[in-house]
Structure 1
Amino acid sequence: MSDFFSHSTAIVETEQIGSGTRIWAYAHVMKEVQIGSNCNIGDHSFIESGVVVGNNVTIKNGNMLFEGLVLEDGVFVGPHVFFTNDLHPRSPRLPQAKMRYKSHDWLYKTLVKRGASLGAGAVILADTTIGEYALVGAGCVVSHDVPAYALVVGNPARQIGWVCECGITLKEDGQTGVCPSCSRRYHIKDQKISPL
């Protein structure tokens, strides 16, 4: 174990936690979770075995992170975000479903790429990828992949624009997007975006 802080009411079963990480009240981190350095895990969050959390990740209060989820470096997870990992869920204790759950064939992975942000109360369905620096609006239900730098809102999630690496919505002028906050510029063409 490295140098990290864990609140006295947190349950931390994993030994794979990077230095400078802080785990707050009533959080539960199961065995075989990997958490990088300089992360913040909010109160009442649950992280199941098999989850991978990169460096500099913020997980706000009340989150549920289930097996198969990978959060890359710099991801922000707002309060009460839910991730699923099974597209056809049944109780593994149901006699008719026991055979299906003997292997991990039911498990679908979800990837949230570097710098992406997920707004409060978002629901991220299994087998999706959230692109780098994408911004998922509060209350969104994401059932398909989200492109890098995309701004998505609603249920189901739909793209309404692009965001800068700093998180601000880009002002678009033809094939150029400009951040009104930090002045970064991007090339936008055919639903693809790249920094200039």
Structure 2
Amino acid sequence: MSYWKHDSAIVDEGAQIGAGSKVWHFSHVCAGARIGADCSLGQGVYVGNDVLIGRGVKIQNNVSVYDAVTLEDEVFCGPSMVFTNVYNPRAAVVRKNEYRRTRVCRGATLGANCTVVCGATIGAYAFIGAGAVVKGDVPEHALMVGVPARQVGWVSRHGERLHFGPDGRARCPATGEVYALQDQGCVPIQDSSDNPP
């Protein structure tokens, strides 16, 4: 077995888990789940059958990753954050054929206790603040807070808030990487001052 699991964790036969991944106390990974290498599933995590998890994903305690959710590489799911897969659930109405797919793109952070309502795509390196409720698509690098979640800024790939100057550019305070506002979005760019001709 190329991954590690705690004795109290349940990994159903057929589940695929990559090398170096860890499955901690009281977690349950269903048979159809596909999990990449170097992931960490904290205590009490549930992973459904129709779930795809990339490489280097960290899922903190008490998170349920239900069917129809995809987490790309290096996504962070904070403690007790919530995914849904049915938009209008009723106990007496079976809606398993109505699941709405949710995708969380590379490097995004989902803060503690936030909720992602099904059908949303969270853009790469977006940052969802603790307790926010996401009801729709989120742009790459967007900083989202509140109920319902609203965009209040942009963040770098390092997770630092970006402050744009009059020229529409910002520098990550941690890495020095330069970002620009283009087409109503935020993108990393090559800073020409770093590479003189």
What TM-score, normalized by structure 1, do the two folds share? Answer: 0.92
Same amino acid, percent of matched pairs: 39
Report how many aligned residue pairs link the two structures: 187
- Corresponding position of 2:11: 12
Distance 2:28 2:136 in 1: 28
Q: Give the structure 2 partner of residue 41 of structure 1.
A: 41
- Structure 1: distance between partners of 2:154 and 2:26: 36
- For structure 1, the 5+ residue unaligned runs are none
What are the equivalent positions in structure 2 for 1:47-126 lying under 5 Å apart?
47-91=47-91, 94=92, 97-98=93-94, 100-101=95-96, 104=97, 106-126=98-118
What stretches of structure 1 move > 6 A for 4+ residues in a row?
Answer: none
Q: How far did 1:191 drift?
A: 2.1
Match of 1:32 in 2: 32
> What TM-score does the superposition give when structure 2 sets the normalisation length?
0.92
| Residue 149, structure 1, aligned to residue 141, structure 2 | yes
* RMSD value, Cα: 1.1
The answer to whether the 8 A contact 2:179-2:186 is kept is yes
Partner Cα distance (1:31, 1:90) in 2: 26
Amino acid aligned to 1:177: A
Letter in 2 for 1:24: W
In the alignment, what sits opposite 1:182?
175
Gaps of 5+ in 2: 190-197
CA distance, structure 2, for counterparts of residue 40 and residue 83 of structure 1: 18
Residue by residue over 1:45-79, the C-alpha shift from the partner in whole angstroms, topping out at 9 and shown as x without a partner, is 11111111000000011101100000000101110
